[in-house]
Every structure is written in structure tokens, then in C-alpha cells.
A and B are shown apart, each in its own frame.
Chain A
Amino acid sequence: MALLEGRRLSKRFGGVQALTEVDFAVEAGAIVGLIGPNGAGKTTLFNIVAGALPPGEGQVVFDGWPITGKPAFRICRRGIARTFQVTRPFGEMTCLENVAVAIVNRRPDLGRAAWGPMAMEYLEAVGLGALAETAAKHLNVIQKKRLEIARALATEPKLLMLDEVLGGLNTQEIQEAVGFIRDLRDTRGLTVFWIEHVMGAIMQAAEKVIVLDQGRVLMVGTPKAVVADERVISAYLGT
């Protein structure tokens, strides 16, 4: 059964039709890639699922619950965590506190003594342990992306939605990151829904890829099938 399902989602911004009747499904325990050219509507789709944007038409169902139009914090507490394409750290707060925000809203009973070490674990998991007491505004782009992931993980989600987390990494780093994400699925049982332009990474990790183009689903298939598809090539290369 699908953990997350979207039915006939549409969204307009003034004159721009960002999504048109999009149907999609993300199966529990899977890594599902979402690709498509710039402006195809990928981030918009994420925003609607996560409640950051009011939906246009259509429905989103998560774990059997309709979550369409619910406020972002409720969706988060239901078990969906997301990262932002342009990172949004709490600049004036330390990395540790950034992660703590995610923890204390899940477990209000915890005091600093309890959440401190927990937050530290998440930071260490993404390799930011040494920067725990640094204000987030001092991080570089890549560190900020890691912090986003740590914060997302700290909400203890069932579904993790990643929006272009590999941008700016070199080949070596991409390999490590892909390993890390697969690990999340394998050891923590997370489902991952992942927007990425770095096709190589999606090819390696995803079981299924959804391709969006101009707000419509162009095709759905295995990574292999997708990159071989004429329509996809033309959408990307623009013949």
C-alpha cells in the first residue's frame, strides 16, 4: 500500500499553472525520486504535501489520513518531514537549538538535559557534531543542507521529503550522501521522497522515479526506464 498518495492535484499561481492533475504514490519503505526540468512544479508539489502552501484542487492522503490543507505543523506531527531547496535555518540559534526545536515539539516533556544529547546524536549523524554550538547563520551552504536533514530526522518522521540536497557536492561527497540516505531507509525504516537534479544519485538509490514536466506527470517508472525514455530526454534536452 502507498504511504503517501496524491490524487489529481492542481495548483495555480496567478497566471502560472504550476501543477495540473498530478497523480502520484510513494510506497512505504521505498525511495522515490521526483525529477523534472526547472520550474516543473516539484517544489510546489512538496509544499502542498507538507502544508506549506494551500492546495488548489485534489487530495493528498498520508498513511490513510487525508492531509489536504492541514497546517504544516500537524502534517509534520503526523510523520512527514521535509527539507527546503533554499535552506531555512534559524540563523540566530545554534545548530543544537535548531535540532532541538524539532525534538521538543514532538516530546514537550523533555527538558534541556534530555534533549541536549538527543539533538547531539542527530547532528553527529550528519557530521555536524563539532559545530553544535555555532550559530546556524555561520554555516556554509553544504553544512546548512546537512542541518536541514538533521532537523528533519529529529522530528522522527515516517516519510522524509528531500528537496535537492546534493546540489553543490562533488562526486565523492555525492557517493557518501547516497549511502547515508539509503542507510536511513535500511536501518530506520524511513520512506524517502526525493527531488534531485543529480540523476546519477537517483539512479543509484531510487526504486521508482516520477518525472514532472510543466506541472504534469510525464512518466513514472524505474530509473533505468526513465532515462531511456524519449520524452524525458526531450524534456531535459529540449530538442
Chain B
Amino acid sequence: MVKAIDNRWWLAAAVAGFAALPWGLGIYHQHVLIVSLFYVMMTASWNLLAGYTGQVSFGHAAFAGIGAYASGILATKVGLNPWLGVGAGTLAAAVFGFLLGVLCLKMGGIYLSLTTLGFSEILHIIINNEYEITRGTMGLQVPGLIAEYSKLAYFYIFLAGAIITLAVVHRLIHANIGLNFRAVQNDERAAAALGVDVVRVRVLAFTVSSALAGMAGALYGHYLLLITPQIPSLDQQFLVLSMTVIGGLGSFAGPVIGAFGLEILSEYIRAYGEYHVLAFGLVALIVARFAPRGLVGVWKQFMDRRRPAA
């Protein structure tokens, strides 16, 4: 009990410290923090699916795109308030996630990966072809979430978004449904025999994860003030995947560490222009190959090794 309270205090202190951070920083660094928080939302929600239920989706960026475009189109065509738009975008992503989940989660595994990949391709073609509505590659210009553009305000909005995402993920994996996630990942036939509705559990994870991506995407679109096919692109998916894998797939802290670490790193190596994607990819490849549990895994292994010695 004492320990739980301790943890809570630590957490509060960490959040408070983080919340104070942007005050000492310039606009540029605030921007980097905001983008990092966007990636925290993306990686944490992708990890819920890939890390905790073993379903590798290649459509996570696509769901962010759905959230962004749904909100953006409503704002520009109907004049919906962007805040309601974020809600609508989240909902739209959830609905698509649900439908896609029902479609291919019965088969699971590789089928999910391929179908989500196809889904993100279809989304791209539609965005390009329905130029009148989406403005194609030119991008859809959308209003911001706040009247007066302020990096600081966006920082707190994204911080809230990240905290909501992490809280949802944390709650789910520590609640009963989290037991079901792991049971399904371990042995779905045995799980079914114990009353676990395997398809429902998977669809639920997929829907929640998609909805969170939708929220992240919608917020991001209203931050950039411009929604482009870059948000639902495979490159974006690559970033999210690499961040999660490098941070530590299937761990709670991994995606957060990966998102911050790689976003900041990529800002540094951007100076090397054309080499930065390559450098990024090589790092991801090496980590994925030699430390499949990511940085978090390496840290745990290191601690485990130290403990007996101490």
C-alpha cells in the first residue's frame, strides 16, 4: 500500500516537472516536445495492440489519418468546432477500427497486418482522388483548437492527450480485460474454453487502439493547421513502429521512451539531410535484431544482472 502511494507521488511529480518544462524553452524546442507527445499517443496506442495482444497493424497511421481528416473535413465543410471535431475524429477512427477488426481479426496474425496495409493504401487513393473534399496532397487547411496560436497552449493540450492515452492503456492492461488480452496472446483456444470471447477481445483492443490513434491524429491536424496524406502514410507508420520497437514492445514505458528518444534524435540528425532516414532505419534494425525487447528490455536485463551481485 505504502509503495502504491509512493508510486503515485512519483508520477505526480514527474508530470508536474514535465508540465513546467516548456517554460524554459524556446518555440523550436516546444515544437519538438509537442511532436514527441503526438508520437507518445501513437506509440502507446499501437503498443496496446502489437505489444499486448500480438496483432501487428500497419494501419495505425491510417487511423490517425481518419481522425484528422474526419475532424478537418467537418471543420471546413460544416464549420464544426474543432474540439467537437476531435471527438468526431476519434469516433470515426473507432468505427473504422471496429469494422476492420470484425473483418479480419477472426483470422488474426498476418492477415491483420496485410489487411491494415491494404486499408491504408485505399485511404491514400481515396484522399488523392477525392481532391474536392480532402484537397489531396495539397493538404486540407483547418482551424486551430485555440483562437490565438500558442505553442504553450498546444503543449498542454498534447500533454493532456498523452496522459489520457497512457491512462486508458494502463487501465486496460491492468483491468480484467488485460488478463484476457494476455490469455488470448498466450493461447487463444484455451482462452476460448475458459469463456473468453476471443474475437471480441481482439476487436476491442483494435477499436480502442484505433480510436486513440484517431484522437492523436485529429489533435495533430489541428496543431499543424494542415492535414495531409503524410499523416496516414507508411513513413509515419514506420516511425511509430520503430519508436515502439526501439523503446520496448509490450512494455508500458517503452513506447514513451522510444517516442521522445527518437523524435529528439531525429531532430538532431536532420542536419545530415538525406542520411537521417537511413540512420534511423539502421538504428531500428539493429535494436530490433539484437534487443528485441527494446531499450526497456536492455535496462531490465542489466538490472537483473546487477541484482544478484549486489
A contacts B directly (C-beta below 8 A): yes
Query: Footprint of B on A, CB under 8 Å?
Result: 50-52, 71-73, 76-77, 81-82, 84, 88-93, 97, 100-102, 104-106, 108, 110-111, 115, 151-152, 154-155
**Distance from A150 Cβ to chain B, minimum over Cβ atoms (Å):** 11
Q: Which residue of A lies closest to B187 (CB)?
A: A88
- Nearest-neighbor residue (CB-CB) of B192 within chain A: A72
Question: Whole-angstrom distance from the CB of B179 to the nearest CB of chain A?
Answer: 5
Query: Can you list 29 contacts pairing A with B, beta carbon distance less than 8 Å?
Result: A52-B189, A52-B193, A71-B192, A72-B189, A72-B192, A73-B191, A73-B193, A73-B197, A73-B198, A76-B193, A77-B195, A81-B193, A84-B190, A84-B193, A88-B187, A89-B187, A90-B190, A92-B185, A93-B183, A101-B179, A101-B194, A101-B196, A102-B194, A104-B180, A105-B194, A105-B195, A105-B197, A110-B176, A155-B194
B186 lies within 8 A of A91 (CB): yes
**Min CB gap B203→A, angstroms:** 13
Q: Which residues of B contact A111 (CB under 8 A)?
A: 176
Residues of B with C-beta under 8 A to A101: 179-180, 183, 191, 194, 196
Chain B residue with minimal CB distance to A115? Answer: B176
Q: State the CA gap A152–B194 with chains docked (Å).
A: 7
Given A108-B176, A110-B176, is A72 in contact with B183 using a C-beta cutoff of 8 Å?
Answer: no
Is residue B135 contacting chain A, with contact meaning CB distance below 8 A? Answer: no
Minimum CB–CB distance from A77 to chain B (whole Å) comes to: 5
CB distance from A40 to the nearest CB of B (A): 22
B276 contacts partner chain A, Cβ-Cβ < 8 Å: no
Interface residues of B in 144-197 (CB under 8 A from A): 176, 179-180, 182-183, 185-187, 189-197
Contact status B193-A105, CB under 8 Å: no
Partner of A90, one of B187, B195, B197, B198: B187
Interface size on B, residues (CB 8 A): 18
How many whole Å from B245's CB to the nearest CB in chain A? Answer: 19
A104-B193 in contact (CB<8A): no
Give Cα distance in the complex from A155 to B191, angstroms: 12
Q: How far is the CA of A185 from the CA of B199 in the complex (A)?
A: 33
Q: Which chain A residues border B182 with CB–CB below 8 Å?
A: 90, 92-93, 97
What residues on A are CB-neighbors of B196 within 8 Å?
73, 101, 105
The one of A90, A100, A104 in contact with B186, judged by C-beta atoms closer than 8 angstroms, is A90
Query: Is the CB–CB distance between B190 and A76 below 8 Å?
Result: no
Residues of B within 8 A of A97 (CB): 179, 182
Whether A102 and B195, one on each chain, are in contact in the complex, defined by CB atoms closer than 8 angstroms, is yes
Minimum Cβ distance to chain A for residue B189 (Å): 6
Q: Which residue of A lies closest to B198 (CB)?
A: A73
Closest CB-CB distance, B33 to chain A, in whole Å? 35
Chain B contacts of A84 at CB under 8 A?
Answer: 190, 193
A102 to B182, CA, bound (A): 13
A122 to B209 CA separation, bound complex (whole angstroms):
34
Q: Of all chain B residues, which has the CB nearest A82? A: B193
- Name the distance in Å between B292's Cβ and chain A's nearest Cβ: 15
